[in-house]
Amino acid sequence: MGNDRTNRATGLLIELPEDGGSLYERLTSGIRAAIAEGRLAPGHLLPPSRALAAELGCSRWVVNEAYTQLAAEGRLQTRQGSGTRVTAQPATPSPVDRAPAPRPAPTVPPVVADLRPGAPDVAAFPAPGWTRSLQHVLATADWERSVFPSAAGAWRLREVVAAYLSRVRGLSVENDEVLITCGTSHGVSLVARVLAARGVPNLAVEDPGWSRLHQVAAAAGLVPEPVAVDAEGLDVEALRQTDARAVLCAPAHQFPTGTALSPTRRRALLAWATERSAVIVEDDYDAEFRYDRRPVGALAGLDRSRVVYLGSVSKTLHPGLRLGWLVPPPDLRQPLLDALDTGAAGPSTLDQLTFAGFADTGGYDRHLRRVRKAYRARRDALVTALNSHAIIRDCGPVLGIAAGLHLLVPLPRGLRDHVIAEHLAGRGIATVALSGYAIRRQPPALVIGYGRLSPSRAQWAAEQLAEVLLDELNRTA
């Protein structure tokens, strides 16, 4: 019998040392080593003695004796009807071998209200409809053609996305013009790589803005250049003062201020791009969720020659899907396709086809109607609750259009927003300070997400914020 024996029932490699010991002793040592090295994790179910003995070509007595010895050492636990498992706790080391006890980590209060922005209610994921679409794909897909689709993505999904963008976002696009990505960050990375290769040195970004995208662009070789955002969105006049030849912005619903780019600013931004032969990278951030009126169309629908359009399902379905799309101007399509082809793998073909089927049968539209209604109710409840406290109301109205999954809550002048966020975290409430998204100094504010906040908990959350603000004002008085 050789040194290595693999149990075909469990895939476990058991190394039997050639030390001259009996088979029982060698098996005991092999299992003990597998536990110590972590190949057998706590809770792992070992094969029945009969099965392991058959695989190793030995008697059941050898396996039973090894299990008995390891159970006596506290490494295995045997229970009638539940088999033999590795113990949840390792055997207690002897006093000589015991390492000094590490210092306990500081206690972090559990999150009882997750109000971090940009997070959808993943519990609302349409699992039944998604599962039906997945089952259909598994039963009917031509896997010979679908296993390795074009770098641009699965053709069926590109058809569905093109139709969706035309119908919902006012962006008339051919199927072949849609490129499938792993989401907005992936899309920004691809665009930044192509622009850097073309000699573009920097990228104008909204300030404050989604810092993750700034980091992605910087990693690809572009230097982020902050441009202010006001009540009408990106300040195009401030953009003109820079030497940027590319800008990243979210016209439909800016993060984190919650503003929408006004019609005047939209025209001015497109004029700037034409005059400077520049590129606009449009992050169509949570544009599907507009509660006060019908959403405005995508900026790319007004000028395909200057705008790179980015969309995803991270806010509408689940960020874990890592599924998005990119519609470039004609002159950038091939460079971006090449970047996709030479870069990391795109989203799972199975997920692409499943989403295509889910959307094509109306499941995506039904899901959006359902969650749009729920998110509007959560936003209304939170705004009402915040306005019921004078200490919050006196700081000014909640900022941001009635859209998306977050809002901006101004704080009293003189307070530091990151300190307020830390105090709320001490009460189990997770929020983010506006300063965390800003390159330049901003008035203190909290960015609060309501996607996962039940309307019944809104008043409690507002009370906690009011108490923290009062405590901090009294402390700094």
Q: What is the CATH number of the domain that holds 401?
A: 3.90.1150.10
Last residue of a domain, one of 315, 346, 361: 361
Task: Provide the pLDDT for residue 256.
Answer: 96
Residues 396 and 313 in one domain: no
pLDDT reading at 8 higher than 70: no
pLDDT at residue 1, as a whole number: 41
Q: What percent of the chain has pLDDT over 70?
A: 91
Q: How many domains does the chain have?
A: 3
Considering the domain architecture, whether residues 302 and 372 belong to the same structural domain is answered as no
Residue pLDDT, tens place only, 202-212: 999 999 999 99
pLDDT score at 66: 87
- CB neighbour burial string for 452-461, b if at least 16 within 10 angstroms, e if fewer: bbebebbbeb
Which pLDDT band holds residue 434 (cuts at 50, 70, 90)?
Answer: very high
| Mean pLDDT, residues 33-37 taken together | 85
Question: Does residue 150 sit within a domain?
Answer: yes
Verify that 322 and 390 share a domain, yes or no. no
* CATH number of the domain to which 66 belongs: 1.10.10.10
Query: Cα–Cα distance between 86 and 88 in angstroms, integer?
Result: 7
Q: pLDDT (tens digit, 9 = 90+) per residue, 255-284? A: 999 999 999 999 999 999 999 999 999 999
Mean pLDDT of the chain, nearest integer: 89
Both tokens of 430, joined, read 């997770």
Element (H or E) spanning 424, and its range? helix 417-426
Given a cut of 90, is residue 228 above it in pLDDT?
yes
The answer on 410 and 307 residing in a single domain is: no
Q: How far apart are CA 438 and CA 208, in angstroms?
A: 4
DSSP string, 39-72: SS-TTPBPPPHHHHHHHHTS-HHHHHHHHHHHHH
Whether residue 103 lies inside any domain: the answer is no
Ranges assigned E (strand) in 142-267: 179-181, 202-207, 223-230, 233-234, 246-249
Q: Two tokens at 166?
A: 């035309």
Per residue in 97-123, pLDDT (tens digit) is 445 556 655 566 788 899 999 889 999
With 50 as the cut, is the pLDDT of residue 7 above it? no
Residue 26's domain comprises 4-86
How far apart are the C-alpha atoms of 73 and 66, rounded to whole Å? 11
In a domain, 99, yes or no: no
Q: What confidence score (pLDDT) does residue 355 get?
A: 98
CA–CA separation, 236 and 224 (whole Å): 16
Kindly list the distances between the CA atom of residue 246 and the CA atoms of 177, 182, 217, 424, in Å, as whole numbers in the listed order: 21, 22, 11, 38
Q: What is the three-class DSSP state of 163?
A: helix
CA distance 142 to 144: 6
For residues 259 and 316, membership in a common domain is answered with: yes
Q: What pLDDT was estimated at residue 144?
A: 57
pLDDT at 5: 46
Q: In terms of residues, how long is the chain?
A: 477
Query: What is the band of 89 on the pLDDT scale with cuts at 50, 70, 90?
Result: low
> Region 88-101: what's the mean pLDDT?
51
Q: Please report how many Cα atoms fall inside a 13 Å half-sphere around the Cα of residue 257, on the Cβ side.
A: 22
pLDDT at position 108 is 64
Quote the pTM value.
0.80
- Grouping H, G, I as helix, E, B as strand and the rest as coil, residue 224 is strand
The answer as to whether 192 is a domain residue is yes
CATH label of the domain that carries residue 208: 3.40.640.10
Q: Is the domain of 174 the same as that of 82?
A: no
Summarised one tens digit per residue, pLDDT across range 131-165 is: 999 999 999 877 656 566 789 999 999 999 999 99
Residue 53 has a pLDDT of 80
Q: Could you tell me if residue 101 is inside a domain?
A: no
Of 295, 330, 361, at which residue does a domain stop?
Answer: 361
Residues 331, 350 within the same domain: yes
Say yes or no to pLDDT of 9 above 50: no
Residues 349 and 393 in one domain: no
- φ, ψ for residue 286, nearest 5 deg: 35, 40
Q: Do 300 and 209 have their domain in common?
A: yes
Averaged pLDDT for residues 391-418: 95
HSE at residue 241, side-chain half, CA atoms within 13 A, is 8
Whether residue 34 contacts residue 12, with contact meaning beta carbons closer than 8 Å, is answered with: yes
Residue 459 and residue 442 in contact, taking contact as beta carbons nearer than 8 Å: no
Residues 312 and 338: their CA atoms lie apart, in Å, by 21
Which tokens sit at 320?
């874990």
Q: What is the dihedral of CA 58, 62, 63, 66, to 10 degrees?
A: -150
Please check whether residues 182 and 219 belong to one and the same domain. Answer: yes
Q: What is the pLDDT of residues 281-323, one digit of tens each?
A: 999 988 899 998 777 899 999 999 999 999 999 999 999 999 9
Instruction: Tell me if 296 is assigned to some domain.
Output: yes
**Is 319 among the domain residues?**
yes
Q: Which of 339, 361, 383 is the last residue of a domain?
A: 361
Q: Are residues 230 and 344 in the same domain?
A: yes
- The pLDDT value given to residue 292: 86
Specify the long-range contacts of residues 136-142, CB closer than 8 Å, at least 24 apart: 136/357, 137/350, 137/353, 137/354, 137/357, 138/350, 141/353
β-strand pairing of 223-230 with 202-207? parallel
Which of 20-29, 70-79, 82-91, 133-142 bottoms out in mean pLDDT, i.e. has the lowest? Answer: 82-91
Do residues 351 and 223 both lie within one domain?
Answer: yes
Phi first, then psi: give them for residue 260, nearest 5 degrees: -115, 140
Residue 95 domain flag:
no
